[in-house]
Amino acid sequence: MDKAVFFDIDDTLLDTSSFAELARRAAIATMIENGLPLKKNEAYDLLKEIVREKGSNYDKHFNSLTKHVFGEENNLLIALGMITYHNVKFALLRPFPKTADILIYLKSKGYRLGVISNGLTIKQWEKLIRLNLHHFFDEIITSEEVGFEKPNKAIFEEALDKMNCKAEKSIMVGNKYEVDVVGAIDAGMSAILVNSTIPEEEKQKIKDNNLDVKAVPTVGDLDKIL
């Protein structure tokens, strides 16, 4: 049976947080120019707080922002914010520098590739398609589609099932320890953390339980261990 590598998308294959921040700052600037009575940093912090509270897949962040400020929604500012956010987001959307190289490398080493992502199915497909990365993946599994979010092991099991792969021959690559690594280990897979560090208190647990968890700086360093 085949060996497989599954990837998280946001902040693993693509620099999502960085383009989302720039897109939100651009949206805020336009809204302020058109009458939002806040300072830039103040408005940005408020928006970030709303995104944190409602989740990034909620589609009415700007509605909440104007309602918070004016006591009612302001359609002009909401629409201006959304147009600017989407324009900037798609202008900036890029994979990390070595993402494509590494996917090609893994293919050449005989790995089957998949995606396991918490998010809305078509939004996640859209990112991969716009960057022409979807061709690399045999299966793209989203939490919306499966009905379970990482770290729930059910989403990993569904992915393994769809790929017809065994957990013990499969690796999850992601940037969130509690989400990507914990869930994958729970499902019997091994895991590689990128763009983040293993929490100190987890290191002993990994050693004691002899868990197959590694960390590399970025997805571009996977060729050093795979």
Cβ distance to its own copies smaller for residue 9 or 78: 78
Decide if 60 contacts 48 (C-beta within 8 A). no
Q: Round to whole Å and give the CA distance between 193 and 26.
A: 31
For the chain, the helix, strand and coil percentages under 3-state DSSP, each to the nearest 5: 55, 15, 30
Q: Burial-class residue 51 by CB neighbours within 10 Å (0-12, 13-18, 19+).
A: middle
Binding test (CB under 8 A) with its own copies, winner from 50, 80, 173, 222: 80
User: Would you count residue 181 as binding its own copies (CB under 8 A)?
Assistant: no
State the residue for tokens 């909620």. Answer: 58
From residue 38, give the alpha-carbon distance in Å to each of 35, 46, 85, 157, 207: 9, 10, 18, 47, 50
Query: For its own copies, which is the closer residue by CB, 135 or 207?
Result: 135
Question: Least CB distance from residue 96 to its own copies, whole Å?
Answer: 21
Of the pair 42, 59, the CB lying nearest its own copies is at: 59
- The size of the chain, in residues, is 226
Of 116-155, binders to its own copies (CB under 8 A) are 121-122, 125-126, 129-130, 134, 140, 145
63 or 175: whose CB is closer to its own copies?
Answer: 63
Site size toward its own copies (CB under 8 A) is 16
Give least dist CB 166 to its own copies, A: 25
Query: Which residues would be at the binding site for its own copies (CB under 8 A)?
Result: 75-76, 78-80, 82-83, 121-122, 125-126, 129-130, 134, 140, 145
